[in-house]
Amino acid sequence: MLSKGGCPKTMLSIKDALEVLEGKWKLLILFSLSGGPKRFKEISREVVGITDKTLSKELKHLETNQLVKREVFDTFPPKVQYSITEHGMSLEKVLDELHFWGLLHRKKIIGK
Amino acid sequence: MLSKGGCPKTMLSIKDALEVLEGKWKLLILFSLSGGPKRFKEISREVVGITDKTLSKELKHLETNQLVKREVFDTFPPKVQYSITEHGMSLEKVLDELHFWGLLHRKKIIGK
């Protein structure tokens, strides 16, 4: 596909994707949720280094883009749970490729 | 791979990748350069919306991570040219998947 380098239409769809997934946290949150629904504190423990303020903001952004579903259960105290949507699961291949590339990059640069 | 949801080792390699590629510009710059070596102003024209200050900062970051090569030619005035490295080209599949997902997302959310 890189042979299409610079093609404005391809550039546009990559830009669309990057605008939704911008920053280093959103895809990590989605990866954490791909293991099953979780509560706020559970995500916060898994996504090492994220602050509660950022996690809260990122979850709202992911909800707006229909990548994450937030559910409130009528218990006492109320239980709030986050899960990945079908649309969120469609990012599987993106996560796969980032995982493979992350391994390669660590070997090449960080592991030197 | 999402069946490995939350696996700490996989999370780490995704985080490595996202830390290098953070933001919405770096991958767009690499995509632009995948069409062939370019001068600063040519990249700036292709990556619509980027400021010169940001482009300059991002190019330096990409050079540090061996994704982009900067060459100065001894002409008058000197010509500076940027090209994508082999390591940069290894991001092809990441860009492919982002492109496909961007199309899907536009159809689902933006195109509504």
Q: How many CA atoms lie within 13 A of A53 on its CB side?
A: 0
The answer to ipTM > 0.85 is yes
Bridge-based pairing of strands B79-84 and A68-73 is unpaired
At residue A100, the pLDDT reads: 95
- Chain B neighbors of A107, CB-CB under 8 A: none
Whole-angstrom distance, CA of residue A2 vs CA of residue A17: 17
Domain ranges of chain B: 9-110
At residue A81, the pLDDT reads: 97
At residue B45, the pLDDT reads: 95
CB within 8 Å: B13 and A96: no
B9-110 adopts what CATH topology? Arc Repressor Mutant, subunit A (1.10.10)
At residue B54, the pLDDT reads: 97
Whole-angstrom distance, CA of residue A71 vs CA of residue A18: 27
CB B79 within 8 A of CB B12: no
- Chain A neighbors of B15, CB-CB under 8 A: 24, 28, 102
- Chain A neighbors of B97, CB-CB under 8 A: 93-94, 96-97
A residues 8-37 lying closer than 8 A (beta carbon) to B: 10-20, 22-24, 27-28, 31-36
DSSP designation for A50: -
Write the residue in A6, A66, A87 that is nearest to B35 by C-beta: A6
CATH code of the region A26-110: 1.10.10.10
Q: Which amino acid is at B79?
A: K
Looking at per-residue confidence, does A54 or B9 come out higher?
A54
At residue B1, the pLDDT reads: 52
Positions of chain A with pLDDT under 70 = 1-6, 110-112
CB within 8 Å: B32 and A11: yes
Look up tokens 């536009």; give the residue: B106
Which residues are CB-neighbours of B91 under 8 A, at least 6 positions away? A101, B21, B27, B30, B67
- Chain B neighbors of A66, CB-CB under 8 A: 108-109
- For every residue of chain B, DSSP letters joined together read -GGGTT-HHHHHHHHHHHHHH-SSSHHHHHHHHTTS-B-HHHHHHHSTT--HHHHHHHHHHHHHTTSEEEEEE-SSS-EEEEEE-HHHHTTHHHHHHHHHHHHHHIIIIIT-
Return the C-alpha torsion angle A94, B67, B65, B14, nearest 10. Answer: 10
* Tokens matching residue A101: 């590339």
CB within 8 Å: B94 and A97: yes
CB within 8 Å: B101 and A108: no
Question: What would the pLDDT profile of B43-71 be if each residue is shown by its tens digit?
Answer: 999 999 999 999 999 999 999 999 999 99
CB within 8 Å: A5 and B109: no
Rg (CA), chain A: 16
Write the residue in A4, A24, A108 that is nearest to B15 by C-beta: A24
In which band, very low, low, confident or very high, does the pLDDT at B8 lie, cut at 50, 70 and 90? confident
At residue A70, the pLDDT reads: 97
